[in-house]
Amino acid sequence: VQAQSERNIIGLYGQYQKALFESTFLTLGLRYDDFSDIGSQVSPRLGLVQALNAHHSLKLLYGEAFRAPSESELNLLNNPVLLGNPDLKPETVQTWDIIWVGQWSQTGISLGYFENHFDDSIVQTDMGNGTAQFQNIDQDPIQGTELELSHELNKHWLLRASFTYITVKPDLSFREADQLGSVTANYQYNKLNASLIAAYTGERESSTSASINNRINLDDYWLLFAKLQYDFTANLEVFIQAKNLLDENYLTPTASSTLSEGIPNRGRELLAGMSWKF
């Protein structure tokens, strides 16, 4: 049950781009958010791109982001395992990225390092007896590296791969995997598009025995997704989609500490649909 509430939201965004030199490019951004029940925040963003030669470039990115607490995080009531907190403040994050990019006629590669620094993070904290409540805390930063590859075999086939490795993360982020990856094969022929995606999630932890400090390890897993789409016109398309194509049995972390194991997830799903734009 959620306590009665209402809010008005205003958001404004502006961006400025300029070539500082022949091979140096600057992007500046500014976003203003105002929540009637929370307050306002100004979030800047900066991007600097230096082209080293015809194939290589470096990117330096900085940004700040603002997230107001959701209605449920503020006002959730009468829940035996999770309670809202009307005194929550917005959480903010400052991000740094430095990325090397290589680009050739058919192949692209990027390797980056990132850091995320948090203020007043909204997290679930253990209140005892299997009950958690949303609270603001200052978490340690997240640090990691990310690799992305793409290769166009011909005019029909495109291959992509990505891998993220988190080297440092806050203890309260134990439910998140340190390693994430994906491999994608995409085929395009006239109005037909087919894609196959394999997504990897590394080992994670889940809390149990009514305490956030009692944790169990959850196995890593691969999931396979497929989609076949045909565009009859620019406004009409039909598709067939499969999720968890191999019917993998896997567990994900629980939001509370009352269960003795992770949460089982759906097996194979098959969907068919049509999209009509007008």
Question: Are residues 149 and 52 part of one domain?
Answer: yes
pLDDT per residue as tens digits for the range 228-253: 999 999 899 999 999 999 999 999 99
How far is Cα 171 from Cα 137, in angstroms, rounded to an integer?
Answer: 12
How far is Cα 34 from Cα 238, in angstroms, rounded to an integer?
Answer: 40
Low-confidence ranges of the chain (pLDDT < 70): 1-3, 5, 130, 210, 256-258
Nearest of 243, 169, 163, 162 to residue 204 by alpha carbon: 169
Most distant pair of Cα atoms in the chain: their distance: 63
Q: Is there a domain that residue 161 lies in?
A: no
Question: Are residues 48 and 119 part of one domain?
Answer: yes
- Tell which of 128, 155, 182 closes a domain: 155
Question: Are residues 149 and 190 part of one domain?
Answer: no
Question: Are residues 82 and 119 part of one domain?
Answer: yes
Residue 108's domain comprises 1-155
- Residue identified by tokens 């330096």 is 60
Question: Are residues 12 and 78 part of one domain?
Answer: yes
How far is Cα 19 from Cα 15, in angstroms, rounded to an integer?
Answer: 14
How far is Cα 43 from Cα 65, in angstroms, rounded to an integer?
Answer: 6
- Specify the number of domains making up the chain: 2
Question: Taking the model in full, what pTM does it have?
Answer: 0.83
Q: Is there a domain that residue 146 lies in?
A: yes
Question: Are residues 188 and 141 part of one domain?
Answer: no
Q: Is there a domain that residue 4 lies in?
A: yes
Nearest of 65, 13, 23, 66 to residue 48 by alpha carbon: 23
Question: Are residues 70 and 24 part of one domain?
Answer: yes
pLDDT per residue as tens digits for the range 42-93: 999 999 999 999 999 999 999 999 888 888 888 887 777 788 888 899 899 9
Residues contacting residue 118 through CB under 8 Å, at least 6 positions apart: 91, 92, 93, 138, 139, 141, 142, 170
